[in-house]
Amino acid sequence: MTSPNQSPSIDSWLDDVLERATVKVRPRKVAPIEDENVQKMFPSDRLYDISFATWPVAPRLPKQLSHEMIARVRDQESIETIRDEETLRSFLAQTLTDIRDEDGARAAALASLRLAEAVAEAGSYRFDEPDVTVVRQDDNIVATAQAAACNPAQGEVAVRLEFGADGRIKPDAIEIDDRSRRGPPGGS
């Protein structure tokens, strides 16, 4: 399961979690998120996009996993999971801390969108090029990004982030909107 760009620790962690599962299942995809904005915003982390097949029946997964998720390897040591929008919001609130200009807000929005795509319902499908807007509202910077899911998936994923004058993200102003849907079986 290891690819040349993949940390052996992610494989052993995933094998260990799945070995203890009551139903034997393997991930459909385990791939490093090699996005320029993600790497810029989270330079100490390696983030992996992990997905499990959900057709014909979504398997019951161990508590640490979800069908569309991210595994965060921090400094090649500890592994944390980002399993849904709620844990993604928490991750962004803790890590996006020094965004003081429009370029930084744009990169943060694009990185956040890429991560939101990975935990979206249609996360195992491709998404179109994102639309991004960044505006100043008084001392705050508001950045939004959205991308449509590619056929056979449908819908879109959008994020909205607001940064204060201190460069910190406002945790209560992190919005993630997943209106994506998986496509028919066999598509990817």
Q: Give percent of the chain with pLDDT exceeding 90.
A: 66
**Contact (CB, 8 A) for 169 and 92:** yes
- 116 falls within a domain: yes
| Residue 179 to residue 120: CA distance in whole angstroms | 8
Which two structure tokens, joined as six digits, stand for 146?
């959205």
31 backbone dihedrals φ, ψ, rounded to 5°: -140, 135
Sort residue 134 into left (φ over 0), alpha (ψ -120 to 50) or beta.
beta
Mean pLDDT in residue range 137-143: 95
Whether 132 is in a domain gets the answer: yes
Report the number of distinct structural domains present in the chain: 1
What residues form DSSP beta bridges with 47? 72
51-72 pLDDT, tens digit each: 998 877 778 888 889 999 999 9
Does residue 21 fall inside a structural domain? yes
Angle at which helix 102-119 crosses helix 85-95, to 10 degrees, equals 150
Q: What is the pLDDT of residue 145?
A: 98
Residue 142 · residue 165 · CB < 8 Å: no
- The per-residue pLDDT for range 170-185, each reduced to its tens digit, is 999 999 999 999 877 6
Tell me, yes or no, whether 80 lies in a domain. Answer: yes
What is the mean predicted confidence (pLDDT) over 134-158?
Answer: 95
- Average pLDDT over the chain, rounded to whole? 89
User: Is residue 123, in this structure, part of any structural domain at all?
Assistant: yes
Domain ranges, residue 145:
8-178
What integer is the mean pLDDT of 114-125? Answer: 91
State the pTM of this model: 0.89
Neighbouring-strand partners of residue 142: 135, 162
Would you say residue 188 lies in a domain? no
